[in-house]
Amino acid sequence: MYNISVIIPTYNASSLILDTLESVKNQTFSGKVEIICIDDCSEDDTVEVIKNYKNKTGMRIKLLQQKENKRQGAARNRGLKEASGEFIFFLDSDDFLDENAFEFMYNKAKLRDCDFVLCDWAYYYEDRGEVYVNNDLFLFEEWLNEAQCENLYQAQSYFSVNKLYKKDFLINNQIKFGEGYIYEDFEFYIDVVQKAKNIGIVSNPFYKVRVNLKSTTKSNSSTTIHMDNFLKAVDKTLSLFNPRNRESIYMVYKYFFDRAQIYSENRIPRRYKRVMIKKTIEILNKWNRNYYVPKNIVLFNQLYFHKKLIQNNKINTIMLVRSLQKKGKLNKCYNKYTKAKNVLKKILFIEKLKESKWNKKRRQRAVNLLKTQYRNAPLKKDTVLFLGFDYRYIGNSKYLFDYLRQNYSYLNIRFITKNQSVPSKYRIKPRSLEFWKALGESKIFITESWTPLAFYKKEGSFWFQLWHGTPYKRLFFDSHEKFISKYNRNHKRDKKKDINKWDYLLADSDGGKRKFKTAFSIQSDRILSFGYPRVQWLKDNKENNILKNEIRAKLNISYNKKVILYAPTWRDYNYKSNNPNFNYLINLEELVTDLGEDFVIIAKLHSMEKQNLAINNIIIPSDNIETQELLLISDTLISDYSSIIFDVFAIDKNVLLYINDEEEFTASRGAYDDMKNLLKPLTFNSVEGIVNQIKCNDNEEFHHFYEKIKKEYSNIYQWNSNEKIAEMIVDCLEKN
């Protein structure tokens, strides 16, 4: 018996099927996988390509050939009957998978005996690469149970392919695809969601949807085949629809109506557009006219569903609403309509409002003209532009900037910040006209965190992302980020646009590189394991006692005191909270009392965490003292999920973790399991445990795991990280 059966329907797929098969072959999953290809009467050499690949690689491939073309639904249903795997994965012949897909999804499925597990997805264009557009709300969750499973009806695309299904779940519930028509997966998707009781969610975009202009849904737009098949699929699907959640009917109707509008505009002849919309509405109303509609929805859906334009077959008004929506004028026109009732009372206010908006637009047009001018200006081959973390002069960007300034003086280097520590000849005010000019001229752009989407990337320029630490807490696609994403459902979609601009991403270690690959869904060859400039500074000054004494003097710390640095990280569950929970912080008063007079504690806290601590031997440093300086003079670092723990492993400092909110943290973001296991001997949930470890640092298990972590996730390179990065920058500057 196989662990996973991969079912791939094929039709004229000879040019892309090898990429699809290779993506299955390259999976990190250690279980047994079979591939079942069902060819639907291809007219090219797809069958021969698959046979040759099977003979060449020895992969477990079962090739089935249909006697007549019955479309994907029939092919998938046949594959399901032939499958012997515990789990089923449907894969389209022009799509492909990230190498980690099966390992992550199978492990999650087994963890809670899921009916199925889904992963996130991204589009793939041959000319643009990976493009992430998803903003589905359910992706912020780890699990969906019972009626919650129907949150999947909120999806912007009803895909059956990015999911790992338990075979028994499909067979026992008699779930299958529609046959003989396009859009066959509507029927499958609706049924599988309404019958699921336990769904696992993997937040990484492991499934890559190749945008193939020759695919079934992108061709035959000169006929009514798409309209006829769509209407048949919707009608058949709604005949099976029996939801548990009161919002489900609205979500499914909204989806089908939205698809009808989009497909009527680009998949059928224009003269049938109105016909397709009208017939779709008739089918929806045939099955249900009275259903719950949520209150807080966008304007056009308010009109369609709350104002019952759909339920009352108001086709003319519907077509008008759609037209205004596409032109971006719907809100404006609707606002004018509603305000017209009180126009005599509000006319002066409206005129003033228009005037102020007009002035604002006029000023913006002037700025945009200059931005366009700078954007079209030629690149200067010696120009390097830095953008620090939140425009600050700190971290990797600061130390790399300092190194280049001292060792590559011939370069034209600029830094975007208001910090007066950067000499004025290098300093550029954020978002000033000078900034837009510098962005347009710079061949190299170096940043350390997310970059605003308005910051354009010019052809021929190179973007270096230094990032701000090796992640212990799960990062971006590796986390559901539910507390952040619920306030901005486009959070991940917008950030992926930024990631796609990066030519290179810097990692501090090989272990960090592996984490970044899945977290950012980025190719390995774009990740540079050169080490961080901020860690290089620590290594360079590890024995610099003069500098250490100067830092101690700034903080009024006696030379005979042992220094404990306490630096916790911020918690997602406090994001936008009016009543943040700080119970995860260690009791500093108890800690300093139990340690005694030989110790002093530096508490490096986030702005929200700072307290008025008028206690002897506790120091709250000012913001103008660099975190690296505090790490350098410390004997022990106490942290939790912060990335700075990996900085100090490089200089052999004692590291302890105080974590008393593991359950809450896991629910909101989570930490990487392999790191958690390695760091377990260094982790405590009481002040007593921390104090005992500081005073008797002779635990063999502690030192064994310390060295394992250091080897895997710390910067132990012998080279100078700054010089390696500088050489890469110079190499890019010399490229045409």
Same domain, 97 and 22: yes
Residue 349 has pLDDT above 90, yes or no: no
Q: Do 317 and 431 reside in the same domain of the chain?
A: no
What number of other Cβ atoms are within 10 A of residue 70's Cβ?
Answer: 19
* Domain CATH code at residue 705: 3.40.50.12580
Which of 512, 530, 548 delimits the end of a domain?
530
pLDDT confidence band for 559 (50 / 70 / 90): confident
Q: Where is the domain boundary, 216, 250, 285?
A: 216
HSE at residue 107, side-chain half, CA atoms within 13 A, is 10
Q: What percent of the chain has pLDDT over 70?
A: 94
Q: Residue 608 pLDDT more than 60?
A: no
pLDDT at 494: 92
Separation in Å, CA 432 to CA 358, 415, 421, 429, 658: 22, 13, 19, 6, 43
pLDDT at 346 over 60: no
Residue 364 has pLDDT above 90, yes or no: no
User: Would residue 718 count as lying in a domain?
Assistant: no
| DSSP-assigned beta bridge partners for residue 97 | 207
Average pLDDT score, the chain:
91
Query: For every residue of 98-148, which 3-state class applies, written as one string?
Result: CCCHHHHHHHHHHHCCCCEEEEEEEEEECCCEEECCCCCHHHHCCEEEHHH
Q: Is residue 333 part of a domain?
A: no
User: Is 251 in the same domain as 323?
Assistant: yes
Rounded distance, CA 438 to CA 68, Å? Answer: 62
Domain ranges, residue 347: 340-374
pLDDT band at 213 (very low <50, low <70, confident <90, very high): low
Quickly state the pLDDT bin for 574 (edges 50, 70, 90): confident
pLDDT band at 214 (very low <50, low <70, confident <90, very high): low
Of 445, 434, 453, 452, which is closest to residue 397 (Cα–Cα)? 445
List, for residues 71-95, the tens digit of each pLDDT value.
889 999 999 999 999 999 999 999 9
- Shared domain for 159 and 230, answered yes or no, is no
User: Do residues 160 and 265 both lie within one domain?
Assistant: no
Query: pLDDT by residue (tens digit) across 156-193?
Result: 999 999 999 999 999 999 999 999 888 999 999 999 99
Determine which helix (DSSP H) or strand (DSSP E) holds 492, and give its type and residue range: helix 491-499
Work out the average pLDDT over 522-546: 96
Same domain, 347 and 280: no
The answer to whether residues 369 and 381 belong to one domain is no
Instruction: State the pLDDT at residue 356.
Output: 59
Q: Look at residue 216 and tell me whether its pLDDT is greater than 70.
A: no
The reply to whether 26 falls in a domain is yes
pTM for the model stands at 0.82
Contacts of 469 (CB under 8 A, 6+ apart): 508, 532, 642, 643, 644, 646, 647
CA distances from 471 to 307, 340, 513, 536, 671 (A): 48, 55, 10, 18, 9
Classified as helix, coil or strand, 307 is coil
What average pLDDT score do residues 365-388 get? 86
Q: Report pLDDT for 181.
A: 87
What is the predicted pLDDT for the residue at 488? Answer: 84
Evaluate whether residue 724 is within a structural domain: no
Two structure tokens written together for 626: 């660099």
Whether 697 is covered by a domain: the verdict is yes
DSSP labels, 238-301: HHH---SSTTHHHHHHHHHHHHHHHHHHHSS-GGGHHHHHHHHHHHHHHH-S-----SS--HHH
The tens digit of pLDDT for each residue in 633-647 reads: 999 999 999 999 999
Per-residue model confidence as pLDDT tens digits over 663-718: 999 998 999 999 999 999 999 999 999 999 998 866 666 788 888 999 999 998 99
What pLDDT is recorded for position 382? 93
30 plus 164 within the same structural domain: yes
Query: Where is 2: in which H helix or E strand?
Result: strand 2-10
173 and 236 share one domain: no
Residue 422 lies in a domain: yes
Residue 348 vs residue 189, higher pLDDT? 189
| Beta strand 116-125 pairing with 163-166 | antiparallel
Domain boundary among the residues 505, 530, 555 is at 530
Over residues 429-484, the pLDDT tens digits come to 998 889 999 999 999 999 999 999 999 999 999 999 999 999 999 999 999 888 88
CA geometry: angle 268, 262, 494, nearest 5 deg = 140
Q: What is the CA radius of gyration of the chain?
A: 29
Q: Do residues 354 and 420 share a domain?
A: no
Mean pLDDT of 565-589: 90
Which of 335 and 131 is assigned the larger pLDDT?
131
Give the domain CATH number at 392. Answer: 3.40.50.11820
| Residue 241 and residue 177 in one domain | no
Query: What total of structural domains would you count in the chain?
Result: 5
Greatest alpha-carbon span in the chain: 87
pLDDT band at 602 (very low <50, low <70, confident <90, very high): very high
Residue 625 CA to residue 567 CA, distance in Å, equals 14
**Is 723 domain-assigned?**
no
Q: Is there a domain that residue 305 lies in?
A: yes
Same structural domain, 467 and 555: no
pLDDT value, residue 583: 92
Decide if pLDDT at 345 tops 60: no
